[in-house]
C-alpha cells in the first residue's frame, strides 16, 4: 500500500520515529506539487502547514530591498520546509519558491500541534526533529548575514544578478 | 478668441519678423527621412507635403502630393531638447588666490520661437513648468529660456496613429499657453491657415502682417475637425489612469513579462516630452586646470540610476519599466497634481521592441483581449502562476 | 540670483580618523563666520572639486552650527577619494536639505535609537540634542550594530556618554575577535529583553533597510506603535533638491520628502521590492 500515511512515514524526516507513536498519530496530510519558479509561500503568510519535500528543490529567500533577492537556504528532497507554525504568531519568515518542479507532502500544523500538546512524548520526538532543522538554518543565516554593514554587502549573491 | 485667415506665404513674413527680433526659430524639418525639430532659417525648410506613418516600433515618413506644412505629427525630438537641453554645463571652477572660484556661463538664455508646437507638447511644457519652476527649488536655466519663449502652435486636425492626447485631455486643440495657433486647411484648391490669437504679443505680431479676419464657418470647420480627431482617439484608446489602480497592481505578474521584452534602452524616456530626470557629472580638465559640472539627461531605465551602496534598487528591467509607467500615469499626479503623460504617443512609436504603453496598461487593468492575465482586484488574492498558465 | 546647484566653499578645520575607512570632517565657511542652522537628520550635498558630489548626512552638534560635520565611510568612488582630504583643504557644500528627526515631538518621551553601520552618523545630532537638554527626555536607549569592533565609530564619545549613567548604550557586532567582550549578533538580538512602555516610547532608526525592517518588527512586537517609529532612508541622489528624479520612492522624493519619515506613512512603500 502506498497511502499518504506510508509516504509520510517513509520520509527521512520521520526516520527512527517510534512506530507506536506513529500508529497513534492522526495525520492531516495531502500531496502538493509546485512548478519550477512557483511561489510556495511568502513572508508574512499565515503558516498553517509544513512540507516534507519528496522531489525537487525549494529556495528560502529573503527580499533584501535594493539588494535584490537573497537565497538564504535551499531545501531539497528528503528535507523539511517550514517551522514557523511551531510558534506564535505563525507567520512565515521568508519566501519559499520552487527552483525545480517540486512534489511534497503538506502536513497541517494545527492538527499536529494539538496532538503534541496532548502527548508530550510525541511532542518531544517531533520538536527534536524540528530543532535540528532550526539550528541548521540559523547557522546558515548567520554566516550569510555577516556582512550587512560591509563594503560589498551580499556581493556573492549579487554577482550573478548583475546585468 | 480672435481668429484670422492667413495665406501660407505670410508664414515666411512672420518668420522674418521673428528672426529680426532676435528669435531662434525651432520647427519641423526633414532630416534623415524623418520630420524632426531643428532650427529653421527659412520657411523653405518646413516639411511641405510630408506625411508620416507611426505605429508601435514603426516610423516612416515621405513626401506626398499634399500641400500642407504641418501634416505630420510628433517626431522623435521633443521641445524639451531646447527647454531643457540634453547636456548643459552648469559651472566651471578655477583656482584663484589658492582657493576655488566658481564661474557660471554668463551668456544670456537663447530667445526661442517655437513654430508648429502641438497641443500635447504645450501641455508637456506646462507639466515641465510644474516640475522645474513651481517647486521649492527651481531651475533658473529652464526659467530663463521659458520666459523668453514665443510660441506659434499648430492644432492637429487629424490624429496620428499612435496619438492619444484627447484621452489625456491635452489636445488635439491647443487651448492656452501659446501666442498664436495655426489651423492648417489644405485641400485641393485651398491652402490657408486659420490663426487664433493667444496673447497680446501674438496679436501684435499678427497685426504686422496682412491677415483678414477668418470667416466664422472656417473657424467652425477647424473646430469640428479637431473634435473629430479627438473622437477618433477616444474610440481607439481607453486609458483611465489613477493612483489606486497601480497601487493594487504593483505585484501584478504582467510586469514580469517586460523583463523579456524591454531592452531598457531608455528611448521612451528620451523621446518623452515630460521626462525630466537628469544626472550630474563632475569632472576636471587637465588642459585648463579647471573643474566642471555638467547636467545630463538620465533615464530610470539605466541600472545605475538607482545605484546606492550595495547595489541598484531596481535591478530587474521589469521593475524599471514599472517605475517609469507608474511615474507617468500615477505617482506624477500625487507629486505635481497633474498626469505625467500627455498622449503624444512618442514612447509607443520609438520603442524598438514595439512595447506600447496603452497595451501594457490594458494588460494590467485586465482589459486584455487574449485574457492571458486574470483581472486582479485588491480584494482577491493575487493570482498564482499556475492560474495564469491555464 | 544664486543657482541651486552652486556650492558654497568650506574649509576643513579638522579631520578625525574614526576607523580604517571612516573619518569625520569639520567644515567652516571659507569667507565668513557664517553659521548654517541645521536640524538633526538633515544632509548636505558635499562637493570635492574634480571628483564629484555626494549626499552626506550631518553628524555634528546642532548647537554648533558654525561647524558642519560629516562622518564619511569610504565605500563609493567619491567618498573613497574624499579620504585624501586634509585639514585646510576646501570643499563645496549645498544644504542643509531634507526632513529631520521630530525632536520637538520627542520631548518628554522615552527614546529608542537604533543605528546600523554608518547609519549612526545622522543619529549623533539627536544624541547631542538630547544630551544638551537631558532632563527634557525620558529614558534613552541606543542600539548600535556594526560589522566588527574595529568599525565602531564615535567610540570614545560613547564611552563618555555611557559614563553619565543616564543613557543606555548597547552595541553589537556581526563578528568579532576574541578580545571583544561585547555582544555578537544582529541588532534585534539586543532587543529581546527590552522592557518598554509602548505608550510613552518613540524609536528612531537608521541603517541598512534590512536591519530597519527587523528592528521595526522587534519593536512592534513590544507593542510600539508604527506612528511612533521614525526611519531615515537612503536612495541615489544627484541634486538633493527634488529635480533630478533619482531618489524617487513611489510618489516620494527622498531628498525633499525625506530622508526622515514617519514609518506609518511610508510603510506601504518600505516593504515593496524594487520600488
pLDDT tens for each residue of B55-100: 999 999 999 998 899 999 999 999 999 999 999 999 999 988 888 9
Q: Collapse the DSSP code of A68 into the 3-class scheme (helix H, G, I; strand E, B; otherwise coil) and give the result.
A: coil
Mean pLDDT of C136-144: 96
Query: How many residue pairs bridge chain A and chain C with CB atoms within 8 Å of each other?
Result: 42
Give partners of C (≥3 CB pairs < 8 A).
A, B
- Predicted local confidence at residue A27, as pLDDT: 84
Helices (H) and strands (E) in chain C, counts: 7, 15
Instruction: Give percent of chain C above pLDDT 70.
Output: 95
Q: Of the candidates C116, C145, C175, which has its C-beta nearest A146's C-beta? A: C175
Nearest CA in chain C to B328: C251
Distances (CA, A) of C112 to B222, C190, C261: 68, 12, 16
Distances (CA, A) of B13 to A69, B22, B147, B207: 63, 14, 24, 12
- Predicted local confidence at residue A1, as pLDDT: 53
- Predicted local confidence at residue B372, as pLDDT: 39
Q: Of the candidates A35, A152, A154, which has its C-beta nearest B385's C-beta? A: A35
Q: Of the candidates C234, C242, C244, which has its C-beta nearest B280's C-beta? A: C244
- Predicted local confidence at residue A149, as pLDDT: 85
The residue with cell 500500500 is A1
Instruction: Compute the residue count for chain B.
Output: 390
**CB proximity A153 to C under 8 Å:** yes
- Predicted local confidence at residue B383, as pLDDT: 37
Task: State yes or no: pLDDT of A22 exceeds 90.
Answer: no
Give partners of A (≥3 CB pairs < 8 A).
B, C
Task: State yes or no: pLDDT of B118 exceeds 80.
Answer: yes
Contact assignment for B331 to C244 by CB distance below 8 Å: no
Contact assignment for C90 to B136 by CB distance below 8 Å: no
Q: What's B213's DSSP letter? A: B
Tell me which residue of B336, B362, B369 sits closest to B130, measured CA to CA.
B336
Q: How far apart are CA A131 and CA A153, in angstroms?
A: 29
Q: CB count, 10 Å around CB of C76?
A: 16
Query: How many residue pairs bridge chain A and chain B with CB atoms within 8 Å of each other?
Result: 33
Helical ranges in C71-208 per DSSP H: 77-81, 103-106, 124-132, 155-162
- Predicted local confidence at residue C197, as pLDDT: 94
- With residue C266 as reference, give the H or E element that holds it: helix C263-270
- Predicted local confidence at residue C192, as pLDDT: 64
Task: State yes or no: pLDDT of A160 exceeds 60.
Answer: no
- Predicted local confidence at residue A155, as pLDDT: 47
Q: Collapse the DSSP code of B162 into the 3-class scheme (helix H, G, I; strand E, B; otherwise coil) and give the result.
A: coil
- Predicted local confidence at residue B220, as pLDDT: 96
Tell me which residue of B359, B349, B337, B16 sits closest to B162, measured CA to CA.
B349
- Tell me which long-range contacts C128-132 makes (C-beta under 8 A, separation of at least 24): C128/C40, C128/C60, C128/C61, C128/C62, C128/C63, C129/C40, C129/C62, C129/C63, C129/C103, C130/C167, C131/C161, C131/C164, C131/C167, C132/C63
Cβ C90 vs Cβ C11: under 8 Å: yes
Contact assignment for C274 to B319 by CB distance below 8 Å: yes
Contact assignment for C208 to A63 by CB distance below 8 Å: no
Mean pLDDT of B292-315: 94
Contact assignment for B308 to A66 by CB distance below 8 Å: yes
A chain contacts of residue B310, beta-carbon cutoff 8 Å: 66-67, 152-154
Question: Of C99 and C221, which is predicted with more confidence?
Answer: C99
> What Rg do the C-alpha atoms of chain C give, in angstroms?
18
Task: State yes or no: pLDDT of C180 exceeds 70.
Answer: no
| Residue-averaged pLDDT of chain B | 90
- Predicted local confidence at residue B240, as pLDDT: 66
Task: State yes or no: pLDDT of B384 exceeds 50.
Answer: no
| Min Cα–Cα distance to chain A from C95, Å | 26
Model confidence band, residue B365 (pLDDT cutoffs 50, 70, 90): confident
Distances (CA, A) of B385 to A8, A75, B372: 27, 21, 11
| Residue-averaged pLDDT of chain C | 92
Task: For an interface test with B, give the residue of C238, C240, C254, C273 to mutate (most B CBs within 10 A).
Answer: C238
- Predicted local confidence at residue B310, as pLDDT: 79
Contact assignment for B385 to A38 by CB distance below 8 Å: yes
Give partners of B (≥3 CB pairs < 8 A).
A, C
Task: State yes or no: pLDDT of A157 exceeds 60.
Answer: no
Model confidence band, residue B387 (pLDDT cutoffs 50, 70, 90): very low
- Predicted local confidence at residue B369, as pLDDT: 45
Mean pLDDT of B316-341: 94
- Predicted local confidence at residue B362, as pLDDT: 85
Question: Of B169 and A66, which is predicted with more confidence?
Answer: B169
- Predicted local confidence at residue A68, as pLDDT: 65
B chain contacts of residue C47, beta-carbon cutoff 8 Å: 282
Contact assignment for B315 to A37 by CB distance below 8 Å: no
- Predicted local confidence at residue C32, as pLDDT: 77
Task: State yes or no: pLDDT of B112 exceeds 80.
Answer: yes
Helical ranges in chain B per DSSP H: 8-20, 80-83, 119-132, 140-147, 200-206, 216-236, 243-249, 254-261, 267-271, 317-326, 332-336, 346-350, 357-365, 385-389
**CB proximity A143 to C under 8 Å:** no
- Predicted local confidence at residue A153, as pLDDT: 64
Task: State yes or no: pLDDT of B375 exceeds 80.
Answer: no
Longest distance between any two alpha carbons in chain A, whole Å: 57
Tell me which residue of B334, B316, B240 sits closest to C257, measured CA to CA.
B334
Backbone angles phi, psi at C55, to 5 degrees: -80, 130
Q: How far apart are CA C59 and CA C125, in angstroms?
A: 6
Task: State yes or no: pLDDT of C182 exceeds 90.
Answer: no
Contact assignment for A149 to C147 by CB distance below 8 Å: yes
| Min Cα–Cα distance to chain A from C32, Å | 37
- Predicted local confidence at residue B386, as pLDDT: 34
Contact assignment for A154 to B310 by CB distance below 8 Å: yes
- Predicted local confidence at residue C186, as pLDDT: 78
Task: State yes or no: pLDDT of C157 exceeds 80.
Answer: yes
Lowest mean pLDDT among A107-111, B219-223, B367-371, C179-183: B367-371
Q: How far apart are CA C60 and CA C154, in angstroms?
A: 11
| Min Cα–Cα distance to chain B from C51, Å | 6
Q: How far apart are CA C141 and CA C155, in angstroms?
A: 16
Cβ B162 vs Cβ B55: under 8 Å: yes
Model confidence band, residue C214 (pLDDT cutoffs 50, 70, 90): confident
pLDDT in tens, B239-290: 765 556 677 888 899 999 999 999 999 999 999 999 999 999 998 877 778 9
Helical ranges in A1-154 per DSSP H: 4-10, 19-24, 109-118, 120-144
Mean pLDDT of B349-358: 95
Task: For an interface test with A, give the residue of B257, B264, B311 to mutate (most A CBs within 10 A).
Answer: B311
Task: State yes or no: pLDDT of B381 exceeds 50.
Answer: no
| Residue-averaged pLDDT of chain A | 82
Q: How far apart are CA B230 and CA B168, in angstroms?
A: 11
Task: For an interface test with B, give the residue of C236, C239, C253 to mutate (most B CBs within 10 A).
Answer: C236
Contact assignment for C75 to A153 by CB distance below 8 Å: no
- Predicted local confidence at residue C1, as pLDDT: 56
pLDDT in tens, C224-236: 999 999 999 999 9
| Min Cα–Cα distance to chain C from B356, Å | 22
- Predicted local confidence at residue A158, as pLDDT: 44
- Predicted local confidence at residue C33, as pLDDT: 74
- Predicted local confidence at residue A121, as pLDDT: 92
Q: How far apart are CA B385 and CA A34, in angstroms?
A: 10
Contact assignment for B386 to A162 by CB distance below 8 Å: no
- Predicted local confidence at residue C37, as pLDDT: 92
Task: State yes or no: pLDDT of B368 exceeds 80.
Answer: no
Kindly provide the ipTM of the predicted complex, given to two decimals.
0.93
Mean pLDDT of A27-37: 92
Amino acid at each position: 500500500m502506498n497511502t499518504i500515511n506510508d509516504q509520510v512515514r517513509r520520509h527521512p524526516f520521520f526516520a527512527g520515529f517510534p512506530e507506536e507513536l506513529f500508529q497513534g498519530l492522526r495525520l492531516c496530510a495531502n500531496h502538493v506539487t509546485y512548478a519550477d519558479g512557483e511561489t510556495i509561500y511568502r513572508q508574512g503568510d499565515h503558516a498553517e502547514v509544513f512540507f516534507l519535500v519528496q522531489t525537487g528543490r525549494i529556495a528560502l529567500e529573503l527580499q533584501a530591498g535594493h539588494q535584490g533577492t537573497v537565497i538564504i537556504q535551499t531545501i531539497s528532497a528528503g528535507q523539511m520546509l517550514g517551522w514557523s507554525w511551531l510558534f506564535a504568531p505563525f507567520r512565515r519568515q521568508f519566501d519559499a519558491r520552487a527552483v525545480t518542479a517540486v512534489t511534497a507532502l503538506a502536513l497541517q500544523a494545527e492538527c499536529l500541534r494539538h496532538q503534541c500538546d496532548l502527548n508530550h512524548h510525541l511532542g518531544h520526538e517531533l520538536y527534536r526533529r524540528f530543532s535540528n532543522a532550526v539550528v541548521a538554518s540559523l547557522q546558515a543565516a548567520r554566516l550569510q548575514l555577516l556582512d550587512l554593514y560591509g563594503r560589498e554587502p551580499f556581493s556573492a549573491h549579487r554577482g550573478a544578478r548583475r546585468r | 478668441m480672435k481668429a484670422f485667415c492667413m495665406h501660407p506665404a505670410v508664414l515666411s513674413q512672420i518668420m522674418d519678423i521673428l528672426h529680426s527680433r532676435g528669435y531662434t526659430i525651432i520647427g519641423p524639418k526633414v532630416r534623415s527621412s524623418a520630420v524632426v525639430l531643428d532650427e529653421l532659417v527659412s520657411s523653405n525648410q518646413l516639411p511641405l507635403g510630408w506625411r508620416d506613418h507611426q505605429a508601435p516600433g514603426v516610423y516612416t515618413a515621405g513626401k506626398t502630393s499634399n500641400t500642407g506644412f504641418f501634416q505630420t505629427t510628433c517626431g522623435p525630438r521633443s521641445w524639451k531638447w531646447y527647454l531643457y537641453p540634453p547636456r548643459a554645463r552648469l559651472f566651471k571652477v578655477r583656482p584663484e588666490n589658492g582657493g576655488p572660484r566658481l564661474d557660471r556661463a554668463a551668456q544670456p538664455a537663447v530667445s526661442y520661437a517655437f513654430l508648429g508646437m502641438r497641443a500635447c507638447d504645450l501641455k508637456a511644457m506646462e507639466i515641465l513648468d510644474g516640475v522645474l519652476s513651481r517647486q521649492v527649488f527651481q531651475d533658473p536655466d529652464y526659467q530663463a529660456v521659458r520666459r523668453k519663449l514665443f510660441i506659434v502652435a499648430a492644432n492637429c486636425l487629424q490624429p496620428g496613429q499612435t496619438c492619444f492626447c484627447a484621452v489625456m485631455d491635452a489636445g488635439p486643440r491647443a487651448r492656452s499657453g501659446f501666442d498664436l495657433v495655426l489651423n492648417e486647411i489644405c485641400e485641393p484648391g485651398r491652402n490657408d491657415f486659420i490663426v487664433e490669437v493667444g496673447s497680446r504679443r501674438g496679436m501684435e505680431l499678427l497685426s504686422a502682417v496682412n491677415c483678414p479676419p477668418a470667416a466664422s464657418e472656417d473657424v467652425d470647420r477647424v473646430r469640428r475637425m479637431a473634435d473629430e480627431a479627438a473622437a477618433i482617439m477616444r474610440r481607439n484608446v481607453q486609458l483611465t489612469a489613477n493612483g489606486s489602480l497601480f497601487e493594487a497592481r504593483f505585484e501584478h505578474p504582467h510586469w514580469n513579462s517586460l523583463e523579456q521584452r524591454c531592452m531598457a534602452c531608455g528611448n521612451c524616456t528620451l523621446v518623452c516630452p515630460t521626462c525630466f530626470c537628469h544626472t550630474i557629472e563632475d569632472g576636471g580638465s587637465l588642459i585648463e586646470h579647471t573643474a566642471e559640472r555638467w547636467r545630463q539627461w538620465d533615464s530610470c531605465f539605466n541600472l545605475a540610476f538607482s545605484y546606492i551602496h550595495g547595489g541598484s534598487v531596481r535591478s530587474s528591467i521589469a521593475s524599471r519599466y514599472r517605475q517609469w509607467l507608474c511615474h507617468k500615469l500615477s505617482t506624477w499626479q500625487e507629486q505635481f497634481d497633474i498626469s505625467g503623460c500627455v498622449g503624444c504617443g512618442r514612447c509607443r512609436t520609438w520603442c524598438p521592441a514595439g512595447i506600447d504603453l496603452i497595451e501594457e496598461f490594458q494588460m494590467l487593468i485586465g482589459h486584455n483581449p487574449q485574457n492571458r492575465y486574470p483581472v486582479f482586484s485588491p480584494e482577491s488574492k493575487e493570482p498564482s502562476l499556475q492560474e495564469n498558465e491555464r | 540670483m544664486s543657482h541651486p546647484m552652486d556650492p558654497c566653499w568650506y574649509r576643513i578645520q579638522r579631520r578625525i580618523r574614526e576607523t580604517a575607512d571612516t573619518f569625520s570632517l569639520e567644515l567652516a565657511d571659507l569667507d565668513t563666520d557664517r553659521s548654517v542652522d541645521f536640524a538633526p537628520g538633515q544632509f548636505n550635498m558635499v562637493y570635492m572639486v574634480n571628483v564629484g558630489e555626494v549626499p552626506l548626512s550631518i553628524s555634528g552638534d546642532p548647537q554648533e552650527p558654525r561647524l558642519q560635520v560629516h562622518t564619511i565611510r569610504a565605500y563609493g568612488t567619491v567618498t573613497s577619494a574624499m579620504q585624501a582630504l586634509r585639514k585646510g583643504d576646501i570643499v563645496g557644500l549645498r544644504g542643509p536639505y531634507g526632513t529631520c528627526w521630530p525632536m520637538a515631538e520627542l520631548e518628554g518621551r522615552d527614546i529608542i535609537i537604533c543605528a546600523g553601520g554608518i547609519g549612526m552618523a545622522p543619529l549623533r545630532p539627536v544624541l547631542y540634542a538630547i544630551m544638551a537638554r537631558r532632563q527634557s527626555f525620558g529614558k534613552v536607549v541606543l542600539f548600535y550594530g556594526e560589522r566588527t569592533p574595529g568599525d565602531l565609530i564615535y567610540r570614545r564619545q560613547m564611552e563618555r556618554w555611557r559614563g553619565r549613567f543616564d543613557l543606555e548604550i548597547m552595541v553589537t557586532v556581526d563578528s568579532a575577535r576574541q578580545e571583544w567582550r561585547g555582544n555578537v549578533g544582529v541588532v534585534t538580538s539586543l532587543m529581546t529583553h527590552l522592557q518598554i512602555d509602548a505608550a510613552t516610547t518613540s524609536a528612531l532608526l537608521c541603517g541598512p533597510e534590512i536591519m530597519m525592517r527587523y528592528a521595526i518588527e522587534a519593536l512592534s512586537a513590544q507593542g510600539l506603535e508604527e506612528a511612533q517609529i521614525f526611519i531615515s532612508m537612503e536612495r541615489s541622489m544627484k541634486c538633493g533638491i527634488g529635480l533630478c528624479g533619482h531618489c524617487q520612492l513611489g510618489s516620494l522624493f527622498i531628498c525633499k520628502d525625506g530622508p526622515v519619515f514617519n514609518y506609518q506613512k511610508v510603510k506601504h512603500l518600505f516593504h515593496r521590492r524594487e520600488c
